Amino acid sequence: MGWKSLDDMDLNGKRVLLRVDINVPVENGQVSDATRIERIAPTVADILAKGGKPILLAHFGRPKGKVIPELSLRICLSELEKAFGQSVTLIETLEDAEGSALPDGIILLENIRFHEGEEGNDPKFAARIAALGDVFCNDAFSAAHRAHASTTSLAKLLPSCAGRLMQAELTALEAALSTPKRPVGAVVGGAKVSTKIDLLMNLVGKLDVLVIGGGMANTFLGAMGASLGNSLQEPDLHGTARDILKQAETTGCKVILPSDGRVSRAFAANAEYEMIKLNAETVLEDDQMILDAGDVATDTIVNEFKGLKTLIWNGPLGAFEIQPFDKATMAAAKAAAALTVSGDLITVAGGGDTVAALNLAGAADDFTYISTAGGAFLEWMEGKELPGVSALQD
């Protein structure tokens, strides 16, 4: 494991600098989704139960080292208090925190990115923050791919550990990719190969089965020789797609591309479509586009799931936001969830579109683990070192 958890720390009477991610969506001046806030509540509860005093460090938006009132963490206060079941005190400036005794209870330091030293990972700034606490606890896996003062430097200045959410993320991802129950497979979908080249290259060396869906699959079909009309694809990456397929052959990773698809002339809800076979010989008309995997392809994917012990999911199989082009994603998600509930499959999913799709399918609650980490989740899957995790291991 290489990193400590809250179970390894003596927190009694200690001030705990707790890095969290509460960079939540806001609409009309209100938090519209408090999931990230709710998921840090167990860590705060455990720190309090162990006699510690939580001092929350967090960012909100991208102020780039300047004080921007619209990006104040004050907007999160009521949701934080609701999640924790007690009051939270906002300390508006670092000088306020340094210049007086901090009040009792849970403390929230104002947006850490109001300071240039945060994203610049400035040692002097990190030392000022470290002086406020006795222990550092990182519960922000979603920011672990950033080498910032509050994600890496604090871990080198104070006794450090992972919070409960960080611990859950690391445990789930290590179980999914580092030491998985085999056979292990992945669903990788979405619009573009260009954003996931490193991910695909890493996965074909570690997986037994790789399901490629969405617009990405079109690029692979085009690379094999298919003429796909107006379908979303990246012709300049046909060579890369062929390289990935060759690498998969070398490593023994079975790649599943859609053998049929829902093809329409309009990207619109309830648009008419045809079910068309997809292979290297496919020729679509200029105004036709593939918007979803077909029924045969979906059956193939579900059957592959039944042979797996571990499944990682990142990206939809089609234009899941509009019916009827959500069918493949919904059916596959429900199948994966059912296999998880029956105890036959370990399922780990992450990425914004993925979580949205699994929620639409009513499958998210049945997956083994859903990551809210976004970029950090992707970089972990790509095999990259995450500075925030490495700092805890050091």
Using only the alpha carbons of the chain, give its radius of gyration. Answer: 23
Output the pLDDT for position 1. 61
Output the pLDDT for position 129. 97
Task: Please give the biggest Cα pair distance in the chain.
Answer: 73
Output the pLDDT for position 174. 86
DSSP class per residue in 99-168: HSPPPSSEEEE--GGGSHHHHTT-HHHHHHHHTT-SEEEE--GGGTTS--IIIIIHHHHS-EEE-HHHHH
222 belongs to the catalytic site: no
pTM, to two decimals: 0.87
Output the pLDDT for position 394. 62
Could you tell me the domains of the chain? Answer: 6-165 (3.40.50.1260), 180-381 (3.40.50.1260)
Burial of 42 (0-12, 13-18, 19+ CB in 10 A): middle
Instruction: Kindly list the averaged pLDDT for each block of 10 residues, start to end, along the chain of length 394.
Output: 91 98 92 92 98 98 95 97 97 88 92 97 97 97 94 96 95 86 95 89 95 96 97 96 97 98 97 98 97 98 98 96 97 98 96 88 95 84 89 84
The single residue of 15, 61, 375, 384 carrying the catalytic annotation is: 375
Output the pLDDT for position 224. 97
Strand pairing category for 254-256 and 184-188: unpaired
254 belongs to the catalytic site: no
36 belongs to the catalytic site: yes
Report the alpha-carbon distance of residue 43 to residue 54 in Å, rounded. Answer: 9
244 touches 229 (CB < 8 A): no
Tokens of 328: 């493949």
Burial of 245 (0-12, 13-18, 19+ CB in 10 A): buried
Report the alpha-carbon distance of residue 375 to residue 296 in Å, rounded. Answer: 32
The single residue of 192, 309, 334, 384 carrying the catalytic annotation is: 192
The single residue of 36, 113, 206, 327 carrying the catalytic annotation is: 36
375 belongs to the catalytic site: yes
The single residue of 13, 65, 352, 362 carrying the catalytic annotation is: 352
Output the pLDDT for position 131. 96
